[in-house]
A and B are shown apart, each in its own frame.
Chain A
Amino acid sequence: MAGALLRAALFPALRRLEHWRHFLRERLTPAGRFVLATGFAAAVFGIDTRLNQLYQLFTLALILLLVSGLAALIGGWRLRSCLDASRALPSTACVDIPLDYPVELRSRHRRTLEGLALTEQLPDPRPTRAQFRDPNQAAAAGDTWLDRRLGYPRWQRLLARNRWAAQPAPKALEPISPRGRLRVGLRLIPKRRGYLRLRGFWLTRPDPLGLTRVRVPILQEQSLLVLPKRYPAPMLSLPGHRRYQPGGWRLAATVGESQEFIGLREYRAGDSPRLIHWPSWARTDEPVVKEYQDEYFTRHALVLDTFADTSSHDGFEAAVSIAASLCDRIGDGESLLDLLFVGPEPYCLTGGRGLAGTAQFLEVLACAKPCETQPFERLQQALLGRIGQLSALVCVLLDFDQPRRELAWTLGSLGVPTRLLVVSDQPMEVLLGGWTGAQVQRIRPARIAEDLARL
């Protein structure tokens, strides 16, 4: 209770502190930060003006920053509405992979614009009150009692988690001639999956003393979908035989009813007129219809466990990345793959044989969110409802507790070959804890690439 009150009281202070840090980072040049730091140190050591002369250094640093700030403020008025900008963004990007894109600038000024720099306006990464008040969010095992009470390390982790992209360095611009155009390339390294909404740009220019920066916004709203991070993974050859698919070929074809043709037979009441084979009717004078056979396919499922609480954010992100890495590594070109997970309701996307491809799988996974409102049994129900069609399963689980063991046990008893991948940092003996069913493979969130290579 006391901790919650303390966190509630600290929240505005931490937001303000982060605001100031951001302000110093964005509004001061490295030289300005040097002057500020030196002035601060001079203030600390020169607090007594009779003891030494450091107060003179403090005064000079302070006045330099004030004059510089004032000059930047005046310069800011002249930069307003002097440029239009538009960017050509791709529709998708991928976490941790640099995204390069062009930006076109059009000057509305009558004079040549010099010394400018351009940078993206990224969404505010500061944690929300709800995020900070929840002591489980971004908590780490190594946190001390004081860390847990005050929550500053958690604040830092939440900041890193909420950051959509690595802070890009301002891109220095060539001089832009009066009413001229300039094309520049910007680079963004996304850090979070999902829809990244970019509000516009910041146009910056240092003041004549080179200590502070003036910043002018250019509005240009756009968004792109950031796909989950993927790791190299081997092809998974799953056991299991083909299963009867009630939907037949229609399920796997994108257009029409192109089933497997097996022969002709006489017309029976109820047959679709579309199946009538007109040449044979003409030859025999009796209605004859074409007969098709429903197919037996190999159909796999990739099951993603979304039942994560607020404390297992890193595990959930690791599970999404594992699913994204495996979605094109299961089965062969002739098999179907179902991506199955539970959001607000059970969700299944089928791919392979001309249906959805890897891109669609990744887009869906980019928007997957933890399911905090439904019980784990919803996943079991959804899975058992279609178990008759599935040849084999790959389950990416967030833990190996009792409900998940029951699911694995049920799948084993139904005779469906299953590969269980559990995202966990626990040692294997602790994780398994007497489990004698199907083989479980542990994937550590910090070593996904290594553990995937072992599959």
Chain B
Amino acid sequence: MIRYPPAALALMFWSWQTGAWVPGLGLTAWLAWAMRTDKRWQVSDKSLERLVDLTSLLVIGVVLYEYSKGPLTAGIFAVLRWSPLLLAPLVSAQILSARPGVTHRALFLSQRRSRSADADRTLDLRPVYLASCLLAAGTAPGSEALSSHFIGLLALAGAWLLWQQGARRHWPLMLGLLVITALLAYAGQLGLREGQSRLEDAAIAWMGDLFFGSGDPYRARTALGDIGELKLSDRVLYRVTTDAPLKAPLLLRTASYNRYFDTSWLTRERDFAPVPRVNDGWQWAPDATAVASTPSVRIGTYLKRRGDLLPLPSGTWRIAGLPVGILSRHPLGAVKASDGPPLVQYRAFYHEAASDDRPPDDIDLRVPLPEQAVLDELVDALALSQADPEAALQRVRDYFKTGFRYTLELPGPVRGQTALEHFLRDRRRGHCELFATASVLLLRQAGLPARYAVGYSVQEQAAAPNTYLVRRSHAHAWALVWHHDRWWSLDTTPALWANLEADRRPLWQPAADWISQLWYRFNLHRLNPETKDNPWLWALLAILSLILAYRLRLGRRFIEAGAAKRRTLAVASNSPIADVARTLTRAGWPRRAGETDRQWLQRLQREPELHETMQDIEAIQRFNERAHYHPAGLTPAQQRQLQREIARWQTRWESLRSRR
């Protein structure tokens, strides 16, 4: 017989860790009474099934309620946190009905109508309840290695193991093992935390390497020199609303980089500076409205839990309506938001003159050695050294516009040439990373400071006016050039690149967009802090209530069920074992639909609670079968013998039940 630690200890531990002292103490007192009292109730299978249904609906209700206020994981953890309270009715029913457990038939909807004997197997809910108390106690966040949670767990485990009967014989050995366990567990949990941090760092670095994008503010690996075909998903990432229709694609920058090394762009500056809050918004540059009228865009996007880089137009100086806890900014322009809701909609005010990125230094003029030869030739060919900056910029723009084409095919490495050299000398075709990298390095070779920027191009009009969709496939790269004491965007990629991307979208993309839009609207409404009443939540609650009413057999179904029950009893009264059937039915062990007398009585024989009382039922069964199936039926002597057997069984039944 397994001995679990007293539920009271686990419940107190849960109360201590979560601060739920009132329900914790109440449940402790209740379960302590339930386990100690001699009172026991007859709980029928049907009542247990309804109790399981009620618990399931409560769980769903808690998940939905928490989900209405936050992400789905919050709902799941809320259920875990309150599981001792949610499971208490079921465990109480098991304890107070003296059952060994709850049948699979009651626990699983799929088994309710099963005739298999497997459906009558029971699950003891007491260890499940203890596990739920321990799990619920651990849901509170904590960062200390030697926390009260860890110490409490050690104390609980020690108390439990010492309490085990077999263990008391070897208590010195056991105490030694417990000390070793405690030390190893302490070291293990420290290692686990450290391991997760390292694993995350490695995964982030790997993911940053794998996918094109600007998730890493310090490094951007390009697909230069890769082979195959560049294909990004068409998932909608941002929904952008502008003040007026766009005449040209708007570039939203997520990060910029100043060092180029071996097909990767990176930056060594690792510090993000916090952005101050100014007038219900975030502002990092002087108010540009004093100089000129500043346009704005509203951007809606999902935020990752650990924070995300925000896409912003070049020259953004203020962000409004962004409900995040921390906003920080990189010297090269990347803006990172963290500690916010999963979905945000913010307004970015921008003006080219308001750009506050760090001015150029000698790094913004460096060109890698392998590329210097080809770039020198080009600078000479285009006479960039002699031209003034504006003319040089125009020549670079014209150079890429006339002699180059856009393609998503990646040629792979070429022996004896760098990817950029191959692009500029021979292939003259490529994707935006090649154009942007070539532009930056060409401008640097010509003596103009330049940087590499990544982000998204806003150009796909949505159904609503002034609204645009930004997909993952709209990811883009371009150059930033220092001119007239500020940074300017220079996009040399041929303009038809977006059309090429659009042509490759699947047929079902409009349907996927529509579903994505619906989901976005739903989440916008769900997560809006100003929305007090969620109609969808009420609708779901109404549906749940209807299900509950159905399960509890309210109304007509209830009446019909009662009539059917009476009919069943009426039929049973003609049976030779009607008295036995009535006694068993009243005691809460009715015959199931489709069960023969033998199957019913044999099932009850297997019930541990009835095992003793149903031992002598075999003789009655044989008489019953003869009466039913034998052409001659029962002789008068056999009928009398049957009545005697039934009377003897009932006496035994009554005596055993009263003893309990």
Contact = CB atoms under 8 A, between A and B. Distances in A.
From DSSP, what is the main secondary structure of chain A's interface residues? helix
A208 B177 contact: yes
A30 B101 CA distance: 15
A51 B77 CA distance: 10
Interface stretch (A8-16, A39-47, A251-259): A39-47
Interface string B67-97: 0000000000100100000000000000000
B584 interface: no
Interface in A181-205: none
A72 B197 CA distance: 34
A34 B131 contact: yes
Contacts of A51: 77, 141
Given A60-B185, A450-B598, A52 B77 contact: yes
Nearest to B145: A56
Nearest to B184: A63
Contacts of B625: 449-450, 453
A329 to B, nearest CB: 14
Nearest to A211: B161
A412 to B, nearest CB: 23
B177 A52 contact: no
Given A49-B193, A49-B196, A56-B153, A34 B177 contact: no
B9 interface: no
A55 B192 contact: yes
B227 to A, nearest CB: 33
B138 A52 contact: yes
Contacts of A29: 2
Contact of B598 (A41, A53, A449): A449
Interface string B589-626: 00000001011000000000000000000000010011
Interface string B162-206: 001011011001100110110011001100110010000000000
B142 A53 contact: yes
A45 B188 contact: no
A67 B135 contact: no
A207 to B, nearest CB: 9
B157 A60 contact: yes
B188 A208 contact: no
A46, A66, A208, A453 — most chain B CB neighbours (10 Å)? A208
Contacts of A53: 138-142, 147, 149-150
Nearest to A51: B141
A59 B630 contact: no
A330 to B, nearest CB: 17
B550 interface: no
A230 to B, nearest CB: 14
B135 A41 contact: yes
Contacts of A447: 596, 598-599
A142 to B, nearest CB: 10
Contacts, number: 130
Contacts of A68: 177
Given A50-B143, A208-B170, A453 B629 contact: yes
Contacts of B149: 53, 56
B288 interface: no
Contacts of B166: 115, 206, 210
Contacts of A41: 131, 135
Contact of B161 (A49, A115, A210, A450): A210
Contact of A52 (B139, B161, B599): B139
A234 B149 CA distance: 69
Contacts of A63: 181, 184-185, 188
A234 to B, nearest CB: 7
A424 B177 CA distance: 60
B189 A56 contact: yes
Contacts of B302: none
A29 to B, nearest CB: 7
Contact of A60 (B154, B193, B596): B154
Given A31-B164, A449-B625, A454-B629, A52 B141 contact: yes
A58 B157 CA distance: 13
Given A56-B153, A63-B184, A38 B598 contact: no
B469 interface: no
Given A34-B2, A209-B177, A55 B167 contact: no
Contact of A50 (B134, B135, B141, B598): B141
A71 interface: yes
Contacts of B4: 31, 34
A46 B138 contact: yes
B169 A454 contact: no
B127 interface: yes
A227 B494 CA distance: 87
A113 B427 CA distance: 84
A265 B134 CA distance: 101
A454 B138 CA distance: 62
Nearest to A71: B177
B155 to A, nearest CB: 11
A221 interface: no
A46 B189 CA distance: 12
A59 B167 contact: no
A454 B629 CA distance: 5
Contacts of A102: none
A125 B192 CA distance: 40
Contact of B135 (A38, A71, A453): A38
A66 B185 CA distance: 11
Contact of B150 (A31, A56, A232, A453): A56
Interface in A52-100: 52-60, 62-64, 66-68, 71
Nearest to A234: B630
B164 A210 contact: yes
Contacts of A208: 167, 170, 173-174, 177
Contacts of A57: 134-135, 138, 153
B131 A67 contact: no
A114 interface: yes
A425 interface: no
B204 to A, nearest CB: 14
B282 to A, nearest CB: 25
Interface string A418-455: 00000000000000000000000000000101100110
Contacts of A60: 150, 153-154, 157, 181, 185, 189
A196 B332 CA distance: 80
B137 to A, nearest CB: 8
Contacts of A206: 166
Contacts of B185: 56, 59-60, 63-64
A4 interface: no
A156 to B, nearest CB: 9
Contacts of A56: 138, 147, 149-150, 153, 185, 189
7 contacts: A29-B2, A38-B134, A45-B135, A55-B193, A115-B166, A208-B177, A450-B598
Interface of B: 2-4, 77, 80, 127, 130-131, 134-135, 138-143, 147, 149-150, 153-154, 157, 161, 164, 166-167, 169-170, 173-174, 177-178, 180-181, 184-185, 188-189, 192-193, 196, 596, 598-599, 622, 625-626, 628-630
Those 3 A-B pairs whose CB atoms lie nearest each other, nearest first = A30-B2, A54-B138, A454-B629
Interface of A: 29-31, 34, 37-38, 41-42, 45-46, 48-60, 62-64, 66-68, 71, 114-115, 206, 208-210, 232, 234, 447, 449-450, 453-454
